[in-house]
Amino acid sequence: MASSVRKKRVSIVSLSEKMKTSPNKPEAWYGCRHTQVVLMCLGFFCCYAVRVTTSVTLEAMTNAVSANPDFEEFDWSEPVKHMILSSFFWGYTCTQIPASILAQRWSAQGLFSATLIISGLLTLGSPISAHYGGWQAVIAARVICGLAQGAALPSLHTLLSKWSPPEERGRLVTFVYSGGWIGNVVCLLSTGFLAASPIGWPSCFYVWGSFSILCGIAFCIFGKDSPSEHPSIPFDEKEYIEMSLGITEIDEKPSTPWISIFKSPPVWALLATQCAQSWGFWMLLTEIPSYMASIMRFDIKQNGLMTALPYLTAWIVSFPISYVSDLCIRKNIVTTQRSRKICNTIGQWTPAIALIGLGYTRQDQPQLAVSILIIAVSSNIAAFCGHNVNHMDLSPNFAGTLMGFTNAIASACGILAPLIAGVIVRDPTDILQWRNVFFLSAGIYTMGNLIFILFGTSKVQKWNDEIKSRRESIVHKISMTPMTVATIQEQKEIEKIP
């Protein structure tokens, strides 16, 4: 009896100590968490490639002379083109919250795999949709593609919250989401050349649709929801991740505290800056190809190259920014909260200033325009170490759900950005109209980040601790049984003996 009581006491104490002890890093410098992050990065690469290919290809589809005149050309007006660019977000907005709940309750890995495969299939069918159904069929395909990709961010945030230890969070999260930026680069570069090549603009859809399907299948086979579900993860790495995140063997799926989330000021501050980010990011991504073609007179090849260059620079810059951010937090140079706000300020106020400068760039200054765009886009990558990781700071347990909620509303800005640009820019050759678009985006960036500075925080919110409170309650109840109390008293007496 005494032996069993002693074992029980040891297990209780070890559980309590395990939750308090700082975990040791695993021996291997490359582990299963890195493989999962690489797979997520490739998947997010495909998500953006599928989104962006329409932005450049649309110019070739409506102006065959600028690409390959041997392929079909469509007589679509500017408002129709802007509608096509925004249609993706009509579906994208609708599935954010349902997908976040599904990712938490079912399988984020399975959901993300399905997202990639469905997006790829729809992209493969885009040329057929355009030929037989016109712009209406293209819009329908884009809406359905948006519905599928609405699950991407909630799924990735759910996966990252289980795979990324807090001290590596900035680097791993930035690496995954920078996959979207390098997806922009590769897609923008390749789309321009493919559209002007002998295989024409349909090949843009065929290439990226196929690659998305392949990555979806790979993630379905090799991706895992959490370290506990990985069959071959080393024990020291599993222990390191789970201890860092405070995960124990108790498996609970709590209900989402929606009322507490809606009442949380930091959540609304996060929402404001995420809306600003979504507006500025998608305004640049969807409208810059048109700006380059209409104002700077770039042909389809130059357009793809010059539009891709800022995103390539951003991808390169993301590595030192995320490393320095994590290092400053780890070395206690700055607090996590201050680091988030500094990074977000660099990521949103620097592009705001650059966009104002772009509004005053003349048509005979294409090199200056490209330089300003490089500054605007590359500095914006810092926001990934700012507000984009803040969901996990506020609520590690509901990071995916929180991302679904905020991104659902922020995605509306992705819808409005091209539509409002279409209203403002009636004549795409008029620099003054483009200036109004850039000034509006700069103002939205400024206000969004200001709200985040004033009301944002990195502290874990009380409504996140439901699981932790239950676990502590379980440990407390077990530890206070009469046998254990007696054993603890006995231990105290033993400790008094010299």
Read off the pLDDT of residues 40-78 as tens digits, 9 standing for 90 and up: 999 999 998 988 888 778 878 887 666 667 788 888 887
* Least confident piece of the model among 10-19, 224-233, 401-410: 10-19
CA nearest to 239, candidates 257, 227, 221: 227
* Band of residue 348 on the pLDDT scale cut at 50, 70, 90: very high
Residue 224 in tokens = 């895992």
- The superfamily in CATH containing domain 33-246+268-465 is MFS general substrate transporter like domains (1.20.1250.20)
- On average, the pLDDT of the chain sits at 82
Grade residue 482 by pLDDT with cuts at 50, 70 and 90: low
The span from the CA of 459 to the CA of 463, in Å, is 12
What percent of the chain is predicted at pLDDT more than 70?
Answer: 84
State the DSSP string of 166-223. Answer: GGGHHHHHHHHHHHHHHHHHHHHHHHHHHHHSTTTTHHHHHHHHHHHHHHHHHHHHH-
Q: What span, in angstroms and rounded, lies between the C-alpha atoms of 368 and 364?
A: 9
User: What is the pLDDT, as a whole number, of residue 495?
Assistant: 47
456-472 pLDDT, tens digit each: 998 988 888 765 555 55
Mean pLDDT confidence for 427-448: 90
| Euclidean distance between the first and the last CA atom of the chain, given in angstroms as a whole number | 27
| Contact between 26 and 237 (Cβ < 8 Å) | yes
Q: How confident is the model at residue 304 (pLDDT cuts 50, 70, 90)?
A: low
Residue 262, C-beta contacts closer than 8 angstroms, at least 6 positions apart: none
Question: Would you call 332 exposed, middle or buried from its count of C-beta atoms within 10 A (0-12, 13-18, 19+)?
Answer: exposed
CB burial of residue 380 (10 Å; 0-12, 13-18, 19+): buried
In angstroms, rounded to a whole number, what is the distance separating the alpha carbons of residues 139 and 129? 9
Quote the tokens at residue 456: 């944002």
pLDDT greater than 80 at residue 439 = yes
Three-class secondary structure of residue 18 per DSSP: helix
Of 14-18, 258-262, 493-497, minimum mean pLDDT range = 14-18
User: How many Cβ atoms from other residues are within 10 Å of residue 303's Cβ?
Assistant: 27
Alpha carbon separation from 213 to 35, 43, 443, 446 (Å, rounded)? 19, 10, 39, 38
Q: Tell me, what's the pLDDT at 56?
A: 73
CB 442 within 8 A of CB 355: yes
Q: Quick one: pLDDT at residue 132?
A: 92
